[in-house]
């Protein structure tokens, strides 16, 4: 059978078999916290797993089930588990797959809250992190220890959009007896599928490209049935599971993922080309530019486009933001269908020590642009008008 294109999979996400007669085109929201049973034997069949179904909202919900099936199909993994947020998903991966006394090897460019979790919270539980430049593969190999059980990186980093060499990182991790964890939020499966490149576990903040409309909060963990089962048990015990409404809203966004990502990528490429040649722009960071240090790697790993995220340095960041006059809002998130601007120094990476931010290239003059799906001429008019 011919493999379906991602856009087809996304558009058909959530198709369910009818229980009786014909089915609803769009699955309804199952806003109930508990399910009933006919008798004790019926309850035991559910508890033992011999019969599938739902017991309690925290353990499972039809809307979450549907979203998990859809996302596993898009990422090409055996299983998926949704979570209350992206950080809930990443926390579950770290705590479910790494024991006290074991170590995580993490890219030093990870998202600021991920950094805080690794540097400040996990050591209290006996889990320690070694930091490395994940783009320096020799350094990654040298940093592996017998106690390293998980290597963690982002497919495209926040905010400078460096590209992880997922196949090589997977090889190094596996040779050292560790698993590879990839946060794929900035890319989405429409741009990059880490599991197909060797990653053992993939996470997303589904609030970003998967939802695409800034209307839902959630995270997802994707991988083998065994890995997802471990994370599912952790999330259920700690209570970090997704609501039915957020799952339903996310699925509505997923249906247009392929279309949206083509528009995001096309617009971002055009914007990057213009900004890179603008006299008032000091630097542009976008993997689709030939000037990007990992352009060749990006071209190999992302043949269908480079996504909608970029960073830029301008001569006067506060003046640039003011000059946009709300046409491109300043918003501390990303991946909406409308273009937004963010200030990493004061938001996403605020938790990092100032010296560490500067070392990573996250300066007070750096802005992150999440390029939307607007008409490109209108978007360029807004940006160039603010650079006068």
CATH of the domain at 49: 3.40.640.10
Residue among 107, 183, 200, 246 flagged as catalytic: 183
Asked if residue 186 and residue 110 are part of one domain, the reply reads yes
φ, ψ (nearest 5 deg) of residue 31: -90, 65
Asked if residue 176 and residue 52 are part of one domain, the reply reads yes
Structural domain total, the chain: 2
The pLDDT value recorded for residue 388 is 84
> What pairing do the DSSP bridges indicate for beta strands 340-342 and 366-370?
antiparallel
The pLDDT value recorded for residue 17 is 61
| pLDDT of 21 over the 90 cut | no
At which of 197, 225, 254 does a domain end?
A: 254
Asked if residue 235 and residue 184 are part of one domain, the reply reads yes
Is 182 contained in some domain?
yes
Q: Reply yes or no on whether 183 is catalytic.
A: yes
Rounded Cα gap, residues 312 and 296, in angstroms: 20
Rounded Cα gap, residues 130 and 181, in angstroms: 15
**How much is the pTM?**
0.95
**333-345: per-residue pLDDT in tens?**
999 999 999 999 8
Asked if residue 157 and residue 291 are part of one domain, the reply reads no
Asked if residue 306 and residue 234 are part of one domain, the reply reads no
The pLDDT value recorded for residue 16 is 66
DSSP percent split of the chain into helix, strand, coil, nearest 5? 40, 15, 45
CATH of the domain at 375: 3.90.1150.10
CA–CA distance from 14 to each of 23, 67, 111, 322 (Å)? 12, 7, 30, 42
Domain span at residue 185? 6-254
Rounded Cα gap, residues 81 and 229, in angstroms: 8
The pLDDT value recorded for residue 19 is 60
Asked if residue 231 and residue 270 are part of one domain, the reply reads no
| pLDDT of 13 over the 70 cut | yes
At which of 254, 280, 314 does a domain end?
A: 254
Report the chain's mean pLDDT, rounded to a whole number. Answer: 94
173 Cβ contact list (under 8 Å, min separation 6): 144, 150, 151, 179, 180, 200
**235-253: per-residue pLDDT in tens?**
999 999 999 999 999 999 9
The encoded tokens of residue 99 equal 């024991």
Q: Residues 80-95: what's their mean pLDDT?
A: 98
**109-135: per-residue pLDDT in tens?**
999 899 999 999 999 999 999 999 999
Asked if residue 100 and residue 200 are part of one domain, the reply reads yes
CA–CA distance from 241 to each of 19, 51, 76, 201, 253 (Å)? 26, 22, 22, 18, 19
At which of 234, 254, 274 does a domain end?
A: 254
Asked if residue 247 and residue 180 are part of one domain, the reply reads yes
DSSP code at position 156: B
Residue among 35, 45, 58, 262 flagged as catalytic: 58
The pLDDT value recorded for residue 20 is 57
Residue among 64, 65, 103, 111 flagged as catalytic: 111
| pLDDT of 202 over the 90 cut | yes
Q: Reply yes or no on whether 208 is catalytic.
A: yes
The pLDDT value recorded for residue 18 is 56
Asked if residue 79 and residue 91 are part of one domain, the reply reads yes
Is 1 contained in some domain?
no
Side by side, the strands of the sheet bearing 340-342 are 281-285, 309-314, 366-370, 340-342
Residue among 103, 149, 208, 255 flagged as catalytic: 208
């Amino acid at each position: 059978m011919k493999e379906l294109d991602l856009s087809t999979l996304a558009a058909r996400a959530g198709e369910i078999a009818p229980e009786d007669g014909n089915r609803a085109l769009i699955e309804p929201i199952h806003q109930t916290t508990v399910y009933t049973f006919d008798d004790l034997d019926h309850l035991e069949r559910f508890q033992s797993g011999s019969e599938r179904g739902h017991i309690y909202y925290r353990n499972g919900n039809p809307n979450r089930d549907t979203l998990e099936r859809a996302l596993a199909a898009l990422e090409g993994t055996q299983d998926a588990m949704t979570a209350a947020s992206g950080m809930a998903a990443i926390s579950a991966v770290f705590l479910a797959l790494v024991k006290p006394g074991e170590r995580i090897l993490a890219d030093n460019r990870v998202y600021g809250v991920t950094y805080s979790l690794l540097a400040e919270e996990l050591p209290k539980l006996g889990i320690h992190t070694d930091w490395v430049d994940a783009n320096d593969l020799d350094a990654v190999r040298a940093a592996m220890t017998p106690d390293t059980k998980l290597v963690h990186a982002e497919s495209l980093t926040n905010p400078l959009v460096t590209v992880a060499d997922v196949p090589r990182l997977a090889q190094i991790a596996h040779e050292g007896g560790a698993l590879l964890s990839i946060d794929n939020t900035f890319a989405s499966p429409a741009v990059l599928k880490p599991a197909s490149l060797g990653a053992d576990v993939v996470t997303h903040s589904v609030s970003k490209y998967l939802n695409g409309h800034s209307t839902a909060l959630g995270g997802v963990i994707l991988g083998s049935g065994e890995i997802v089962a471990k994370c599912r048990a952790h999330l259920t015990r700690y209570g970090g599971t997704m609501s039915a409404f957020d799952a339903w809203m996310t699925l509505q966004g997923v249906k247009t993922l392929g279309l949206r990502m083509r528009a995001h990528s096309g617009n971002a490429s055009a914007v990057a080309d213009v900004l890179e040649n603008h006299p008032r722009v000091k630097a542009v960071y976008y993997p689709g530019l030939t000037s990007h240090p990992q352009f060749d790697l990006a071209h190999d790993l992302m043949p269908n486009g480079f996504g909608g995220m970029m960073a830029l340095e301008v001569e006067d960041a506060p003046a640039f933001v003011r000059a946009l006059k709300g046409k491109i809002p300043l918003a501390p998130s990303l991946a909406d269908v409308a273009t937004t601007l963010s200030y990493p120094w004061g938001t996403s990476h605020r938790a990092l020590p100032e010296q560490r931010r500067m070392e990573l290239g996250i300066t007070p003059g750096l802005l992150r642009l999440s390029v939307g799906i607007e008409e490109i001429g209108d978007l360029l008019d807004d940006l160039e008008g603010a650079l006068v």
